[in-house]
Chains A and B, each alone.
Chain A
Amino acid sequence: MRKLLTSAAAIGLLAAPALAQVSDDKVKIGILNDQSGVYANFGGRYSYEAALMAVEDFGGTVLGAPVEVTTADHQNKADIASNIARQWYDTEQVDSIMELTTSSVALAVQALSKEANKITITTGAATTELTGAQCSPYGFHWAYDTHALAVGTGGALVEQGGDSWYFLTADYAFGYSLEENTGNFVKANGGEVVGAVRHPLASTDFSSFLLQAQASGAKVIGLANAGADTQNAIKQAAEFGIVQGGQRLAALLFTLSEVNGLGAEAAQGLTLTESFYWNRTDASREFGKRFFERTQAMPNMIHAATYSAVTSYLKAIEAAGTDETEAVAAKLKELPVQDLFAENGVVAPNGRMIKDVYLMEVKAPDQITEPWDYYNVLSTIPGDVAYIKPAESGCPLVTQ
């Protein structure tokens, strides 16, 4: 028995140098998002799958310690998400939480993680607050935000003469942020905002709201919502003859997953902004095909950004030589982001990952040559135009 203990201790000592820098002898990443509600296809289980792919591509270990990914459904509720996050940190040795679809949830979990001294990388939520007034030294924001969407889709439509806007806004943090950002951008470019109506999250019937938007006479109806809400609004707008009546619809946050759910027939001609399209470069095509084999769906920007976030986090741990939060956060801000999602990404001091975003147009059904080939890339918007300059973000971490 004594011999056994001695050898166990010896093995422990031998193994120790490799693992010494990694807490609990493993790195554990939690993917927390909506897996059953309106945003389940927007991020959902697909983001978990993307995180698994990133870990596998990284080799499954970092600094000799195994990397694990766990996941949970926060049901778009900040209180449920906070409970899960606490449980993960306190009893399940989770080192960082990522994805965090839904802005209210992301803000709550980022604040909680700041207290708990843990890293969050948000890919699913949109509000600029995450890297603005409510920024955190350990909170990062990948993928996109409401400012990038406003500059992309809003900019394109104002340029084409859409100078009066009416907003259909989801009634929570994300909707307000998107409405405000887009409204400001429209006004700054000489347009006007004639009104807005706020609808509850996960509405099924938009006809009342659409009638109000129709009556406003605005040239553009801005859909400051997401997921199934936007899908339903677009579908029902077609029913009420809104586009035939001469008004344009701007889906401010709409991704490949929703285009596929809506069908090319109903979605054709929509202008939208995403920071990733699978059929754009060789690297993205290769990733798209591998992702498709696992999920039967092509990735949107949330899924690709989650892959990129996990990869960057593991690279930062490797570079820092430890998984200690302070050191990893510093490395995340220092290292450039170069992968299939971002060719030229940099992480600003406020935690915002800045890279190019793309203005897309949904093709007409007869132009689509292969499944999921929905977009024409209209233009590339450079990262420093798309995102708020760190110094102007209102984040106290940025020294002027």
Chain B
Amino acid sequence: MITIFGVPTAALFGQLLVGLINGSFYALLSLGLAVIFGLLRVINFAHGAQYMLGAFAAYLLSLWLGLGYWSALILAPVLVGLAGAVVERTMLSRLYKLDHLYGLLFTFGLALTIEGTFRYIYGAAGQPYPTPEALAGGVNLGFMFLPIYRGWVVVASMIVCLAVWLLIEKTKLGSYLRAATENPILVQSFGVNVPLLLTFTYGLGAALAAFAGVLAAPIYQVSPLMGSNIIIIVFAVVVIGGMGSILGAIVTGYLLGIAEGLTKVFYPEASNIVVFVIMAIVLILRPAGLFGKDV
């Protein structure tokens, strides 16, 4: 058997693929965070809670209305996105004129409230959510057994990441959004409704988190704490990628997933800190992040 550093290549490829799958979640979540930070300058601590809400929305839609995975994949992000828009319009928008810290504190409080409420109602252990029929089972790739659903997660997240990037970088709506961040007053004087744009952006960020939540539901237990488990890593991803850099968030998400996967082969005990070690190194060498613009 061929080995690299004492690890069989087959195992290595398997781990790389698993890393890519985890990276898909990091990429989707950090993308939403980067969009919100880039355009609203709000550090959205409620992102993990919105991810959890997406998974719970899927679970509750199936429990109450009997709706399956595919409807949930569309409906849950829409619902959570709308809820996000309401929060932005009624509460968050009042904080833009204040220091960034207030937005951070508000979203952090919101996250604790939402998670606490769900924990109170559903307990911490988590609810099961079945894998959709069409994606059940797996294929043997020779070097590993790939569950079809995990393959789908990689594909779906790549498509969504690409779509959001195109939306912001290449469309007219995206150019309004970017212009509104640069100079809101000027853009407003051209007749563009800037507050509405910001509401849309926050709703979009929340919807992306919820989309990741629905994707995660069949793999992990649907649990009130699933968001707080992953959000810290996602923040590290955004910092490494460069705060507000959309492309940076996506690329770093996948890269760190892979880095974490490799750590699990060579030194498993370090797998939950490797991301932070990389973050510390990047901050020392390039404080603006890998893809951030130097200030």
B-contacting residues of A (Cβ < 8 Å)?
36-38, 40-42, 44, 171, 197-200, 202-205, 207-209, 211-212, 214-215, 227-228, 231-232, 235-236, 239-241, 245, 257-258, 261-263, 265-266
Q: Within the complex, which residue of B14, B127, B220 is in contact with A261, where a contact is CB–CB below 8 Å? A: B127
Evaluate whether A240 and B126 lie within 8 angstroms (CB atoms) in the complex, with A207-B18, A207-B21 already known. no
Q: Which residues of the other chain, B, contact A231 by a CB distance below 8 angstroms?
A: 125-126, 221
Q: Within the complex, which residue of B119, B150, B226 is in contact with A36, where a contact is CB–CB below 8 Å? A: B119
Q: Are B147 and A228 in contact (CB under 8 A)?
A: no
Interface pairs (18), CB distance under 8 Å: A36-B119, A36-B225, A38-B124, A40-B123, A42-B125, A199-B268, A202-B229, A205-B18, A215-B8, A228-B126, A231-B125, A231-B221, A235-B219, A235-B220, A239-B138, A239-B147, A239-B150, A262-B128
Evaluate whether A37 and B138 lie within 8 angstroms (CB atoms) in the complex, with A209-B264, A211-B11 already known. no
Q: Are A258 and B229 in contact (CB under 8 A)?
A: no
Q: Are B229 and A204 in contact (CB under 8 A)?
A: yes
Q: Within the complex, which residue of A205, A227, A245 is in contact with B145, where a contact is CB–CB below 8 Å? A: A245
Q: Quick check: is B22 within 8 A (CB to CB) of the other chain?
A: yes
Q: Which residues of the other chain, B, contact A239 by a CB distance below 8 angstroms?
A: 131, 138, 147, 149-150, 219
Q: Which residues of the other chain, B, contact A258 by a CB distance below 8 angstroms?
A: 125
- Count A-B contacts at CB 8 Å: 102
A-contacting residues of B (Cβ < 8 Å)?
8, 10-11, 14-15, 18-19, 21-22, 119, 123-128, 131, 138, 144-145, 147, 149-150, 219-221, 223, 225-226, 229-230, 261, 264-265, 268-269, 271-272
Q: Are B271 and A232 in contact (CB under 8 A)?
A: no
Chain B nearest Cβ from A38, distance in angstroms? 8
Q: Within the complex, which residue of A41, A198, A204, A265 is in contact with B125, where a contact is CB–CB below 8 Å? A: A41
Evaluate whether A261 and B271 lie within 8 angstroms (CB atoms) in the complex, with A40-B124, A207-B18, A212-B265 already known. no
Q: Are B18 and A266 in contact (CB under 8 A)?
A: no
Q: Which residues of the other chain, B, contact A40 by a CB distance below 8 angstroms?
A: 119, 123-125
Q: Are A37 and B261 in contact (CB under 8 A)?
A: no
Chain B nearest Cβ from A148, distance in angstroms? 23
Whole-angstrom CA separation of A203 from B15 in the bound complex: 16
